[in-house]
């Protein structure tokens, strides 16, 4: 597609429910990133996929968080048993691999846990 | 570990020049990026430095000193629309993988 697409744009869920957030990266971008941004804060790294390599999961805050990337394209971030502190904007980005390659961001999914 | 520091907030006047500083500590340095983020929107790319020195793009310039772990973003002829958060990000590489680590951002307010 023309840009990084994320869905849904907004999600309100009850505490304890599971949620799935979707990211469709720019075609041809082998690298895909998930970040979390709480209100007024910076971007917190969650997970990174590159090609067929094992993902870098070092930023996932707990084992309730998981992500997969199917066929080297679309990615899904899953949060199980959501908690109120999970409320944030979840941003996905994709990039080419190589010097100077910038990351392109989607519009994000605003998650509210009530 | 990796650490990026930048001021939380800055205020400047329309038409003025403002410099936003960023210091970093990282391993496998592979470039420093600046992004602009308006409230409620996604970050958008502004500039990139991988070698020491100054890069200029229109009203925006970015400087890098790798030995000092220091960068700054210079915004000239400030406009009201420049009110936004400015994010400093370091890309680091390890064993062929690349990761962008972001600072907490500097919220810039441009006053008339």
Residue of B48, B100, B104 lying closest to A33 (CB–CB): B100
CB A17 within 8 A of CB A78: no
Task: Please give the average per-residue pLDDT across A65-82, as a whole number.
Answer: 94
Tell me the per-residue pLDDT of B51-95, one tens digit each, with 9 for 90 and over: 999 999 899 999 999 999 999 999 999 999 999 999 999 998 877
Tell me the per-residue pLDDT of B11-31, one tens digit each, with 9 for 90 and over: 999 999 999 999 999 888 999
Residue of A31, A40, A105 lying closest to B42 (CB–CB): A105
User: For chain A, how long is the longest CA-to-CA vector?
Assistant: 43
Are B30 and A33 a contacting pair at CB < 8 A?
no
* A26, A103, A109: best to mutate for the B interface, most B CBs within 10 A: A103
pLDDT confidence of B1, banded at 50, 70, 90? low
pLDDT confidence of A1, banded at 50, 70, 90? low
What does pLDDT average to over chain A? 93
What percentage of chain A carries pLDDT values higher than 70?
99
pLDDT confidence of B4, banded at 50, 70, 90? very high
- Distance from A107 to chain B by nearest Cα, in Å? 5
CB A37 within 8 A of CB A44: yes
Tell me the per-residue pLDDT of A19-38, one tens digit each, with 9 for 90 and over: 999 999 999 999 999 999 99
Residue of A31, A33, A41 lying closest to B104 (CB–CB): A41
The β-bridge partners of A36 are A44, A90
């Amino acid at each position: 597609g023309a840009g990084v697409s994320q869905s849904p744009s907004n999600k309100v869920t009850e505490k304890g429910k599971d949620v799935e957030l979707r990211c469709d990266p720019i075609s041809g971008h082998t690298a895909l990133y998930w970040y979390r941004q709480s209100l007024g804060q910076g971007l917190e790294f969650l997970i990174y996929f590159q090609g067929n390599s094992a993902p870098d999961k070092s930023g996932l805050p707990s084992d309730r968080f998981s992500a997969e990337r199917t066929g080297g394209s679309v990615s899904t971030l899953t949060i199980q048993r959501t908690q109120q502190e999970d409320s944030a904007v979840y941003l996905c980005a994709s990039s080419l691999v190589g010097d100077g390659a910038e990351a392109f961001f989607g519009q994000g999914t605003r998650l509210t846990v009530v | 570990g990796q650490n990026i520091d930048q001021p939380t907030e800055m205020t400047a006047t329309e038409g003025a020049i403002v410099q936003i500083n960023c210091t970093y500590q990282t391993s496998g340095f592979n470039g420093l990026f600046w992004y602009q983020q308006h409230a409620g929107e996604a970050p958008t790319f502004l500039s990139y430095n991988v070698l020491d020195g100054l890069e200029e793009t229109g009203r925006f310039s970015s400087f890098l000193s790798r030995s000092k772990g220091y960068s700054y973003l210079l915004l000239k002829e400030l406009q009201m629309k420049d009110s936004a958060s400015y994010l400093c990000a370091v890309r680091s590489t390890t064993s062929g993988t690349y990761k962008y680590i972001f600072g907490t951002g500097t919220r810039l307010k441009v006053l008339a």
